[in-house]
Amino acid sequence: MASSPFPLLSISLFLLFLLLHQPLFSTTNLHKLRSLRPDFLPQISTPSSNDTPLSPPTHYFETPPSHCLSHPKEFSKIFLEWRAISKGRQYDRIFGVWVGGVELLRSCTAEPIPTGIVWSVEKDIARYYSLRLKNQTLAVYLGNVIDKAHYGIYHVNVTLHFYPPEEENLDSHGGNRENLVPGYNSWADLVLPISRNLPLNDGLWFEIENSTNFVFKELKIPRNVYRAVLEVYVSFHENDEFWYSNVPNEYIDVYSTSFLGNGPFREVLVSLDGDLVGSIWPFTVIYTGGVSPLLWRPISGIGSFSLPSYDIEITPFLGKILDGKTHKIGLNVTNALNVCYIDANLHLWLDKHGVKTEWKILKHVGLPLVVSLVSNFSGFDGTFLRSVSRSIKLTGWVKSSYGNITTNAIQDFYYNKLNSDGRQWK
């Protein structure tokens, strides 16, 4: 006789019930933290009850404790905890956390419900340890809007957790160790912000409203740098929130539709004094209200609680910027519509045993973007095949107390996108 399906159904419903009652929680790059005791936990309470998206960010002026200044590198892990509650009806909202203008976290809020919701995000921020070496301003911006239809208010706590080295393996996770050879596996000694300056009425990120909109930040680089990495944050909103599903302009030109155009391809370009040094083809992130909010309870879309950042190795290009002069870093988004939020952090490694490094650029090849679009449609039906490729190659050497080290940075991208049956855009 066949067994009854009811016990299995009951167990499944019970597990689903437990899952739906778990708080939303996201962790990124955490390692053995539960077995360690936080050494220092500054907590910042920031009730984000803005009634307009143009309210200034919440500021907190932070003075590091003396033991963090005397031993700033003696931490196995440093992570940021964002914990928030909200009750009522509200859209998903983008927010950011900056220290000294350096962005630490970009995230999307969980969409609240009438009975209330609690969620938290934890992110490993050890790579920003050098920000702890002096007084800094911590800024939090959450562009909330309050009206009769959307009355959910977000109340937020931000906590920084510092964990001491693990006794059984003191050198496995630490920061800059003097015995590291050649010193390229450590955290950066200096992080410079490529963002807007306070005071502001919104986030510290730049806004890009179209593909011809370039944003720039001027800065001066110390002359004893032996490595440089640019970390870029970018997120897409409004007309570009679902950029990966946008319609080719060729289709819009024929049928004069009201669909969003510029096609389903986006590229972030990074320039240094006008020279192309890097490209980013961004990861698709669906926010907690994207497509259908019911899809993201209790699990949010990949990257929605901790949007990815993208690293570009620009060490081979140090030969152009270690002259003690001011230089300009530029950011642009190909095919962008209104609006993209973008900023960057420049991570620099300093030669503590030398005043000035030597350098030379050996190769710089930045080929133009190659785009091909093959279309075949009749009426609203048809196909669009878009192919894109990009190649950037940088080679250069830097001579420091670690020796003469040659760095090659190669980016080769290929992209193919097929849209078939134009009825999907009716």
Residue 33's CATH number: 2.60.120
- Higher per-residue pLDDT: 117 or 183: 117
Q: Which of 297, 301, 270, 298 is nearest to 283 (CA)?
A: 301
Rounded to an integer, the average pLDDT of 150-175 is 72
pLDDT digits (tens, 9 = 90+) for 215-226: 999 999 999 999
> What span, in angstroms and rounded, lies between the C-alpha atoms of 25 and 304?
11
- Which pLDDT band, with edges at 50, 70 and 90, does 84 fall under? very high
Asked whether residue 252 carries a pLDDT value surpassing 90, the answer given is no
Asked whether residue 254 carries a pLDDT value surpassing 90, the answer given is no
Residue 81 Cα to chain centre, angstroms: 16
Asked whether residue 178 carries a pLDDT value surpassing 70, the answer given is no
In a domain, 413, yes or no: no
**Strongest mean pLDDT among 12-26, 76-90, 139-153, 207-221:** 207-221
In a domain, 126, yes or no: yes
- Which pLDDT band, with edges at 50, 70 and 90, does 265 fall under? very high
pLDDT at 255: 76
pTM value? Answer: 0.84
pLDDT at 134: 80
- Higher per-residue pLDDT: 172 or 209: 209
pLDDT at 163: 82
In a domain, 43, yes or no: yes
Q: Report in angstroms the alpha-carbon separations of 199 from 57, 94, 157, 202.
A: 9, 19, 22, 9
Q: Whats the size of the chain, residue-wise? A: 426
Q: What are 201's two structure tokens?
A: 């009425």
Asked whether residue 68 carries a pLDDT value surpassing 50, the answer given is yes
Which strand (E) or helix (H) includes residue 238?
none
Q: What are 16's two structure tokens?
A: 């689903």
User: Which residues face 86 on adjacent strands?
Assistant: 117, 154
> What span, in angstroms and rounded, lies between the C-alpha atoms of 124 and 201?
28
- What's the mean pLDDT when you consider all of the chain? 82
In a domain, 4, yes or no: no
Total number of domains in the chain: 1
Asked whether residue 32 carries a pLDDT value surpassing 80, the answer given is no
> What span, in angstroms and rounded, lies between the C-alpha atoms of 329 and 218?
6
- Which pLDDT band, with edges at 50, 70 and 90, does 168 fall under? low
In a domain, 157, yes or no: yes
Residues in CB range of 167: below 8 A, 6 or more apart: none
Asked whether residue 100 carries a pLDDT value surpassing 90, the answer given is yes
In a domain, 16, yes or no: no
In a domain, 127, yes or no: yes
- Higher per-residue pLDDT: 360 or 379: 360
pLDDT at 248: 87
> What span, in angstroms and rounded, lies between the C-alpha atoms of 395 and 417?
31
Note whether 368 and 277 are within 8 A (CB): no
pLDDT at 64: 54
In a domain, 316, yes or no: no
- Higher per-residue pLDDT: 367 or 64: 367
Helix segments in 212-342, DSSP class H: 249-255
Domain around 139: 22-176
